Amino acid sequence: MFSKKTVMVVALIILIAANILLLTVSSRNRLPASDVGPVAITIVGPLQKFVSLTMDCVHDIWKYYFNLISVAKENDALKKELFIAAEKNNRCTEIEISNERLRSFLNFHKSYSTNVLAAEVIAKDPSSWFKTIVIDKGKTNGVEKGAPVVVPEGIAGQIIEVTDNYSKVLLIIDRNSAVDALVQRTRARGIIKGESTNQCILEYVLRKHEISVGDTIVSSGLDGVYPKGLRIGEVSEVTKRNSGIFQEVIVTPYVDFEKLEEVLVVINP
């Protein structure tokens, strides 16, 4: 009918109550120790010992509980401090990377004779068919449609749309992009066309021209858009078919378009 746990609790309460009652009666009657008798001492002694042990156990549990609360609060405070420290470290790392990137832009700007304007990439076309970005500079900053966009690694693209404060850039890896280019070593000429991937094709290169994997491709300046001698990419594959007057040349751009964060717009080239 009753569980063992309930019976034990009730028995414990009865024993404690009996012990307290016996102690109270003894203190009121103030009987000499000889009147209490061996029987009473035999009964009261174990009860007092049990009550004392129980009270000590309760005290230890209570103390341990408060210690756990204190440790939990300290743990939460340490976790908060660790999170703040990690955030500060992350900001410092990001600032260091940004400073390194901007330093390379500054060095490129100093070595570049044409007037350029620094801009930040604020959006990218999510489509896999179009490779465009949006920058935070526009007409009010002197940006014009058709202006070339470069980075220290090489050519990035061309301005195709301009508003007062923003501009859209057509990247050279877009299928609608075309850059008149030269093989730097042999001076063989062709047109760099985008593939909507991270690679381009150098088209209309005659079979008679020698081109090797690893050759550097630069802008020729003959398209009236990009200044001459700007780096575009490196030849990664050359195919000469049995028929046709042109050879197929795959070019890997020097610019990592997935990591493009800042660019330079060439003003009045």
Residue percentage of the chain with pLDDT more than 90 = 41
Structural contact between residues 137 and 119, judged by C-beta atoms closer than 8 angstroms:
yes
pLDDT at 114: 67
pLDDT at 103: 63
CA neighbours closer than 13 Å in the CB half-sphere of residue 256? 3
pLDDT single digits (tens) 121-174: 999 988 778 899 999 999 999 999 999 999 888 899 999 999 999 999 999 999
Phi, psi of 44 (to 5 degrees): -70, -35
- DSSP for 115-173? -EEEEEEEEE---SS--EEEES--GGGT--TT-EEEETTEEEEEEEEE-SS-EEEEETT
pLDDT single digits (tens) 175-190: 999 999 999 999 999 9
Superfamily of domain 115-269: Rod shape-determining protein MreC, domain 1 (2.40.10.340)
pLDDT single digits (tens) 3-29: 655 655 566 666 666 666 655 555 555
Give the separation between CA 138 and CA 135, rounded to whole angstroms: 8
Q: Mean pLDDT in the chain?
A: 79
Instruction: Average the pLDDT over 76-99 and give the result.
Output: 70
